């Protein structure tokens, strides 16, 4: 029975793989002005990818006697990316059939090494003092219990991100918390953050500490009332509660980041002046009017580049935290694919950008009316759309290093590759040995391998 199950899984994986690789990406009719703008940006994008996403490495191979091993054959294969390519994991195991759930997992693991886990307070603790952390908790759509998602990510080698530690927009808050009592909210928030930190502080690598602060300040009637020092206090508490290896982010909306950038800069500067642990800048990118982008009126590449340069001056890593591009309308999926490919090239080339997170992997898995945008990378059957195919080509082909070479007289071989973990297979004298190396942006660039017969 186990052999049959394994065989079915392999057949399913191969079928999905072939669907991704062999299905041609439909050509999209896009305005000439849009194409010209991105063509003009391409040389700098390509140069930055080469400069910031790759590094030089030297592999030295020695024999058991410590002497250089010349003319050894090396097969260098990149296994993982250092850069974080992510998506939210909100509907893991929640689709209508086992087949759809299987395809969802395959689509996720083929592209992504980074997963956003939901910590919306309303569904996480629907009753006071009774959080839904554990596997087997009452099922809720788009809100699986965090334990289940952390376990799955560990099993698949996926880095996790918690979203969001504090998000006090009223429609996302529990009914049992009074929206007009800031002092009581602060007491409950301290308990809430402490419970999460104790349970997940060592397992979840990145956190959105506060979500959408600028909208809260500009439209407070939609939010629970908070103390005057709310933003700084949240980061002070998180900095005290979470271990040093956890990265603490501020996260804000699309226009707030890209248009009212000065307001966002003010929040970040204020936190840094308070000497709290703000360790990354989150930037949302929900585009429901794709045609405005294609017209060149909305977020042309030069504007985006200028914004990321400004936000990068704080010396903090940037993260695209929530990405949606709609695929509605005539030729919608193909036009979505064109836009997505350009955006990801730009983000991958941005020096300060540490990761990008698509929001809803599949059509029909978004929040409420957002489903009308058809903003998934795969359709409702979990089959790849042109945008998924474009990202698969970039992440798994264009941006991965795989090569073969030989050691010279001194037993050395040099290569330049994308940052990530590699398998190096060394062949000499009719024998082969396999090694693992990690080429990291801030790690070693020289690796010594001892080949023992």
Q: What is the mean pLDDT of the chain?
A: 95
Q: What's the confidence (pLDDT) of residue 20?
A: 58
- Calpha distance 291→294 (Å, rounded): 5
Q: Percent of the chain beyond pLDDT 70?
A: 94
CA distance linking residue 373 with residue 349, whole number of Å = 27
pLDDT score of 188: 98
pLDDT digits (tens, 9 = 90+) for 310-328: 999 999 999 999 999 999 9
How far is 407 from 340, CA to CA, in rounded Å?
40
The CB-based long-range contact list for 393-396 (8 Å cut-off, 24+ gap) reads 393/25, 394/341, 394/344, 394/345, 394/348, 395/81, 395/85, 395/111, 396/110, 396/111
Residue with tokens 């334990």: 147
* Alpha-carbon gap, residue 133 to 146, rounded angstroms: 5
Decide: residue 442, CB within 10 A, 0-12 exposed, 13-18 middle, 19+ buried.
exposed
The pLDDT value given to residue 29: 77
Per-residue pLDDT, 17: 56
Q: What is the largest CA-CA distance in the chain?
A: 76
pLDDT given for residue 305 in this prediction: 98
CA angle 210–216–222, rounded 5-degree value: 120
Asked if 247 and 209 touch (Cβ cutoff 8 Å), the reply is: no
List pLDDT tens digits, range 50-88.
999 999 999 999 999 999 999 999 999 999 999 999 999
- The pLDDT score that the predictor gives to residue 352 is 98
**In the block, which residue shows the tokens 């840094």?**
272
Cα gap 236→392, rounded to integer Å: 39
Identify the pLDDT of residue 30. 87
Say how far apart CA 109 and CA 273 lie, in whole Å. 40
The pLDDT score that the predictor gives to residue 62 is 98
Q: What tokens appear for 6 in the block?
A: 């394994």
Look up residue 75 and give its two tokens. Answer: 């097969």
Peptide bond just before 164 cis, omega within 30 deg: yes
* Model confidence pLDDT, tens digit, residues 5-62: 444 444 454 555 556 544 444 456 789 999 999 999 999 999 999 999 999 999 999 9
Mean of the pLDDT values across residues 188-204? Answer: 98
What is the pLDDT at residue 220? 97
Phi, psi (rounded to 5 degrees) for 319: -135, 125
pLDDT tens figures, 209-229: 999 999 999 999 999 999 999
pLDDT above 70 (res 99): yes
Q: Burial, 130: exposed, middle or buried (Cβ in 10 Å; 0-12, 13-18, 19+)?
A: exposed
Interval 417-430: pLDDT, tens: 999 999 999 999 99
Place of tokens 């050894």: 72
- Alpha helix (H) ranges present in 81-181? 98-111, 121-124, 146-155
* pLDDT one-digit tens code per residue, 227-270: 999 999 999 999 999 999 999 999 999 999 999 999 999 999 99
- In angstroms, the CA 69 to CA 88 distance is 46
pLDDT on residue 383: 98
């Amino acid at each position: 029975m186990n052999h049959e199950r394994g065989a079915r899984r392999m057949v399913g994986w191969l079928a999905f793989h072939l669907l991704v690789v062999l299905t041609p990406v439909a050509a999209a009719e896009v305005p000439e002005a849009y194409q010209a703008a991105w063509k003009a940006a391409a040389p700098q994008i390509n140069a930055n990818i080469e400069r910031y996403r790759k590094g030089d490495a030297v592999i030295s191979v020695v024999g058991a006697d410590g002497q250089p091993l010349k003319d050894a054959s090396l097969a260098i294969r990149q296994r993982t990316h250092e850069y974080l390519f992510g998506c939210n994991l909100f509907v893991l195991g929640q689709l209508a059939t086992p087949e759809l759930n299987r395809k969802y997992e395959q689509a996720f693991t083929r592209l992504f090494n980074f997963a956003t886990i939901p910590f919306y307070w309303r569904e996480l603790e629907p009753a006071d003092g009774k959080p839904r952390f554990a596997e087997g908790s009452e099922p809720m759509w788009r809100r699986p219990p965090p334990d289940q998602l952390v376990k799955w990510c560990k099993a698949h080698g996926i880095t996790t991100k918690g979203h969001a530690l504090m998000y006090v927009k009223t429609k996302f808050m529990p009914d049992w918390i009074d929206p007009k009592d800031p002092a009581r909210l602060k007491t409950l928030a301290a308990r809430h953050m402490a419970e999460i930190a104790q349970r997940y502080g060592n397992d979840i690598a990145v956190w959105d500490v506060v979500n959408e602060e600028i909208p809260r300040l500009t439209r407070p009637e939609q939010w629970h009332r908070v103390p005057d020092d709310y933003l700084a206090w949240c980061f002070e508490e998180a900095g005290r509660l979470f271990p040093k290896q956890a990265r603490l982010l501020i996260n804000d909306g699309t226009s707030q980041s890209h248009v009212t950038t000065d307001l966002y800069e003010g929040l970040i500067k204020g936190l840094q002046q308070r000497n709290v642990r703000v360790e990354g800048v989150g930037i949302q990118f929900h585009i429901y009017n794709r045609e405005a982008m294609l017209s060149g009126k909305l977020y042309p590449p030069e504007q985006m580049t200028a914004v990321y340069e400004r936000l990068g001056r704080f010396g903090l890593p940037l993260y695209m935290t929530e990405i949606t591009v709609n695929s509605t309308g005539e030729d919608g999926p193909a036009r979505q694919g064109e836009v997505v490919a350009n955006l990801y090239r730009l983000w991958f080339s941005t020096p300060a950008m540490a990761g990008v997170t698509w929001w809803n992997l599949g059509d029909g898995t978004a929040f409420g009316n957002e489903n009308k945008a058809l903003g998934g990378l795969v359709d409702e059957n979990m089959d790849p759309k042109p945008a998924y195919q474009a990202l698969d080509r970039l992440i798994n082909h264009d941006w991965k290093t795989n090569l073969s070479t030989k050691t010279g007289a001194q037993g050395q071989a040099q290569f330049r590759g994308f940052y990530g973990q590699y398998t190096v297979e060394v062949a000499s004298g009719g024998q082969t040995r396999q090694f693992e190396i990690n080429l990291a942006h801030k790690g070693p660039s020289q690796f010594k391998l001892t080949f023992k017969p």
